[in-house]
A and B are shown apart, each in its own frame.
Chain A
Amino acid sequence: MAEEPVAVVGIGQTRHRAARRDVSLAGLVREAALRALADAELTWADIDAVVIGKAPDFFEGVMMPELYLADALGAVGKPMLRVHTAGSVGGSTALVAADLIAARVHTTVLTLAFEKQSESNAMWGLSLPVPFQQPLLAGAGGFFAPHIRAYMRRTGAPDTIGALVAYKDRRNALRNPYAHLHEHGITLAKVQESPMLWDPIRYSETCPSSDGACAMILADRAGAARAPRPAAWVHGGAMRSEPTLFAGKDFVSPRAGKDCAAAVYRQARITDPRREIDVVEMYVPFSWYEPMWLENLGFAAEGEGWKLTESGVTELDGDLPVNPSGGVLSANPIGASGMIRFAEAALQVRGQAGEHQIDGARRALGHAYGGGSQFFAMWLVGSEPPTT
């Protein structure tokens, strides 16, 4: 018996902000969940199960917060799962939810990911004073900057590329009402002149710290048929992990990322991703990760990713738009960031992306990864159901 096709029939997110002081943790997740239910025109009673994800519990200081959030998410009396796969968690969470439908265990599943970073300080959570360990010497960007330098060395990319990505994503965010950063006066010069924090990363090339949540309603074929708006269909989905640190690890283009993309393309019968995929929402926490992932995901040959960025291919009006939503560079509620990528990909193929809609988008890739470049989660969604 083949898997049940999985459809995205409802999507909701919060307006991501530095701090949502007006809501509790429950209020935050509830807002995204209600919007997803409204989009699908469903009620709590229609939901069979809830799959929730977020990054480390220390960020909010609540251990396994899904226990407390069960009431707010209408999960009482239902199955509830909590996924945690580091930065890729938003994507992994959606994939776990999709499996519940593909396996025909459930027909309608609410999946949600969130982070309320304003409850604490992510850097505190990431750098607890573990005895005997060398303290983190360089802050958040210091972890990523050496890998970016390695990419530049390997490919000979000019050092202007990162700013182009940031300028593009921040402009795209102006079209996305849910994005955290709306920098109306943004110019390329402003990005280029922003302070150099972790050379080669400038301030404007880093992601913000956000409070936010994202939710999706996933349904089976019958659920999609009843849905009031077009569904996005899951054509492929995969997770791949490799060790965090190991001899021979390629931080610039990790094999787990390549393998994950290959698995998704195989399921979706994509042989030429550059031509067959219309839009990509990828997890770019620092600008330079766009050209790096373009190569890792097979959109460009090794060493050539930056050329796509430089030539405008990834712009909103380019032939492979990347992060029309503004991406992680414009909103980063950590645990939710991956799910936002998945949801934005789905919005595109549903034709529901509003001002940042890519005309005629039929196939979109959603991509998420964990900060150590060790965990990857991706899905490919289409406007038509998969043919089996």
Chain B
Amino acid sequence: MTRYARDVAIIAFAQTDHQRRSDELSEVEMVMPVLHQVLRRTGLRTGDIGFTCSGSSDYLAGRAFSFTMALDGVGAWPPISESHVEMDGAWALYEAWVKILTGAADTALVYAYGKSSPGEVRDVLSRQLDPYYTAPLWPDSVALAALQAQALIDAGHTDERELAAIGARSRADAAANPYAQLAGAVPRGDMVVGPLHRGDCPPIGDGAAAVLLAAGDRARELCERPAWIRGMDHRIEAHGLGVRDLTDSPSTRLAAERAGAFERPVDTAELHAPFTSQEVVLRRSLDLDSRVRVNPSGGALSANPVMAAGLIRLGEAAALIHRGESDRALAHATSGPCLQQNLVAVLEGDSHG
């Protein structure tokens, strides 16, 4: 069945109530409750965990080595086998998955957090751009997404009405998601950077998420219906926006191929599309038709804690499988300007009965 050395599953997922600000909480104070939740759900303790990996960004925090203090929430004593990626937590999950595949660990704790409230996240993200030609112009993240949106419109792949509908559907679905920051009937709002309006953009906020992974029988023992990782892959594209076709996401398609996403249809997809227009790109790249439920959680348009939002897609997809609401789900995470880097995982539950 699986193409990998071991069967590995997501066995627990927890996230914070995502909020516009969280001044009362330091990062560790924000992260610790979700760590406790995933441990409690499985009855595991820190000492039982084989590997721990996290994702976060110093630039978001405004401080160097910000992740070192978040580790306080784990209780790393006696010392633990642990690593950190300066990436969205989805890639921390990838690293942890690989660790389990090597056989060096049977369980892994993955967490990610981001507080966008302290800084101007639109400007902070501009520091990701090439530092010679692009970053000195301070193009913000909404501006870059808007260039992509316009390219889609010009190419006839979408229009402003469809974009508005994606925003509306996401926030309507988020009404059933108690952790969402933005839910219900949300007006499309003013133009932020045309053609994108407020409603096409993600809310800015703070949040954290944690996931537990386990291999084989350990997963079956700890979780009633594990969300098996049938495939996972990630790919990066060229950095320059002017050398890419912004209407397409070949890296997403390639990652999905490598993850086996096209072998059989999925029933659900959790896509990390912070902007409505990016959902259009991803649907095209993944050949998702109308039979696939997209972002029942409300997606990043309903809560976008930067550095955790990708991990949350994996967690939300797994949670659907845990609850028996999906049998085969695709989860996607992105990083970089205009979907430069993309990760795709295919999760499955064992058949009922």
**Chain A interface residues toward B at CB < 8 A:** 1-3, 24-25, 56-65, 67-71, 75-86, 92, 95-96, 99-100, 102-105, 125-126, 128, 130, 238-244, 246, 254-256, 259-260, 263, 370, 372, 374-375
Provide the residues of chain B in CB contact with A63, threshold 8 Å. 57, 59, 124-125, 127-128
Do the beta carbons of B99 and A84 come within 8 Å of each other?
no
Is the CB of B25 closer than 8 A to any CB of chain A?
Answer: no
Do the beta carbons of A239 and B57 come within 8 Å of each other?
no
Provide the residues of chain A in CB contact with B79, threshold 8 Å. 240-242, 254-256, 259-260
Q: Which of A1, A84, A259 contacts B86 (CB 8 A)?
A: A84
Do the beta carbons of A239 and B78 come within 8 Å of each other?
no
Do the beta carbons of A75 and B80 come within 8 Å of each other?
no
Do the beta carbons of B65 and A240 come within 8 Å of each other?
no
Provide the residues of chain A in CB contact with B94, threshold 8 Å. 81
Bound-state Cα–Cα, A193 to B65, Å: 35
Bound-state Cα–Cα, A81 to B131, Å: 20
Provide the residues of chain B in CB contact with A256, threshold 8 Å. 79
Q: Which 7 A-B pairs have the closest CB atoms?
A: A103-B101, A256-B79, A56-B64, A241-B82, A63-B59, A63-B127, A84-B86
Bound-state Cα–Cα, A57 to B135, Å: 14
Provide the residues of chain A in CB contact with B131, threshold 8 Å. 25, 60-62, 65, 68
Chain B positions 43 through 83: 1 when the CB is less than 8 Å from some CB of chain A, otherwise 0? 00000000010000111001111011101100011111111
Do the beta carbons of A244 and B68 come within 8 Å of each other?
yes
Q: Which of A60, A62, A80 contacts B341 (CB 8 A)?
A: A80
Bound-state Cα–Cα, A242 to B237, Å: 36
Do the beta carbons of A85 and B83 come within 8 Å of each other?
yes
B100 to chain A, nearest CB (A): 8
Nearest opposing residue in chain A for B126, CB measure: A63
Provide the residues of chain B in CB contact with A99, threshold 8 Å. 95, 98-99, 101-102, 104
Nearest opposing residue in chain A for B244, CB measure: A76
Is the CB of B236 closer than 8 A to any CB of chain A?
Answer: yes
Bound-state Cα–Cα, A103 to B240, Å: 32
B238 to chain A, nearest CB (A): 5
Do the beta carbons of A64 and B87 come within 8 Å of each other?
yes
Do the beta carbons of A77 and B235 come within 8 Å of each other?
yes
Residue of A2, A75, A81, A126 with most chain B CB atoms under a 10 A cut-off: A81
Provide the residues of chain A in CB contact with B237, threshold 8 Å. 70, 76-77
Do the beta carbons of B68 and A372 come within 8 Å of each other?
yes
Do the beta carbons of A83 and B64 come within 8 Å of each other?
no
Is the CB of B335 closer than 8 A to any CB of chain A?
Answer: yes
What are some 29 contacts across the A-B interface (CB < 8 A)? A3-B103, A56-B64, A57-B57, A57-B59, A58-B64, A61-B131, A63-B57, A63-B128, A67-B128, A67-B236, A67-B336, A70-B340, A71-B238, A76-B238, A77-B250, A77-B254, A79-B235, A79-B236, A81-B85, A81-B95, A82-B87, A83-B84, A85-B84, A99-B102, A103-B102, A239-B83, A241-B79, A242-B79, A243-B71
Bound-state Cα–Cα, A254 to B65, Å: 19
Is the CB of B233 closer than 8 A to any CB of chain A?
Answer: yes
Q: Which of A61, A67, A75, A78 contacts B337 (CB 8 A)?
A: A67
Bound-state Cα–Cα, A57 to B239, Å: 17
Do the beta carbons of B64 and A105 come within 8 Å of each other?
no
Do the beta carbons of B239 and A103 come within 8 Å of each other?
no
Q: A67-B336, A256-B79 are in contact. Are A105 and B127 (CB under 8 A)?
A: no
Q: Which of B58, B71, B78, B98 contacts A56 (CB 8 A)?
A: B58
B66 to chain A, nearest CB (A): 9
A125 to chain B, nearest CB (A): 5
Provide the residues of chain A in CB contact with B235, threshold 8 Å. 77-79
Bound-state Cα–Cα, A130 to B84, Å: 22
Q: A83-B86, A239-B81 are in contact. Are A67 and B239 (CB under 8 A)?
A: yes
Do the beta carbons of B80 and A240 come within 8 Å of each other?
yes
Do the beta carbons of B238 and A243 come within 8 Å of each other?
no
Instruction: List B192-249 residues whose CB lies under 8 Å from chain A.
Output: 233-240
Bound-state Cα–Cα, A206 to B262, Å: 56
Q: A58-B64, A86-B65, A128-B64 are in contact. Are A244 and B71 (CB under 8 A)?
A: yes
Do the beta carbons of A103 and B4 come within 8 Å of each other?
yes
Provide the residues of chain B in CB contact with A57, threshold 8 Å. 57-59, 86, 127
Q: A100-B98, A104-B5 are in contact. Are A68 and B239 (CB under 8 A)?
A: yes
Do the beta carbons of A125 and B82 come within 8 Å of each other?
no
Q: Which of A58, A84, A104, A254 contacts B101 (CB 8 A)?
A: A104
Do the beta carbons of B236 and A70 come within 8 Å of each other?
yes
Is the CB of B116 closer than 8 A to any CB of chain A?
Answer: no
Instruction: List B127-151 residues whose CB lies under 8 Å from chain A.
Output: 127-132, 135
B102 to chain A, nearest CB (A): 4
Is the CB of B113 closer than 8 A to any CB of chain A?
Answer: no
Do the beta carbons of B86 and A82 come within 8 Å of each other?
yes
B297 to chain A, nearest CB (A): 25
- Additional A-B contact list (10), CB under 8 Å, known A70-B239, A84-B58: A24-B132, A61-B131, A78-B235, A81-B91, A81-B95, A82-B91, A128-B62, A241-B52, A254-B79, A374-B71
Instruction: List B240-282 residues whose CB lies under 8 Å from chain A.
Output: 240, 250-251, 254
Provide the residues of chain B in CB contact with A69, threshold 8 Å. 239
Provide the residues of chain A in CB contact with B82, threshold 8 Å. 239-241, 375
Q: Which of A67, A84, A125, A254 contacts B340 (CB 8 A)?
A: A67
Bound-state Cα–Cα, A77 to B237, Å: 6
Do the beta carbons of A242 and B76 come within 8 Å of each other?
yes
Q: Which of B64, B77, B86, B336 contacts A125 (CB 8 A)?
A: B64
Q: Which of B80, B129, B250, B335 contacts A68 (CB 8 A)?
A: B129
Bound-state Cα–Cα, A103 to B215, Å: 13
Bound-state Cα–Cα, A1 to B65, Å: 37
Q: Which of B80, B87, B236 contacts A241 (CB 8 A)?
A: B80
Bound-state Cα–Cα, A215 to B95, Å: 20
Bound-state Cα–Cα, A203 to B148, Å: 53
Bound-state Cα–Cα, A82 to B92, Å: 10
Q: Which of A61, A68, A105, A375 contacts B98 (CB 8 A)?
A: A105
A373 to chain B, nearest CB (A): 11
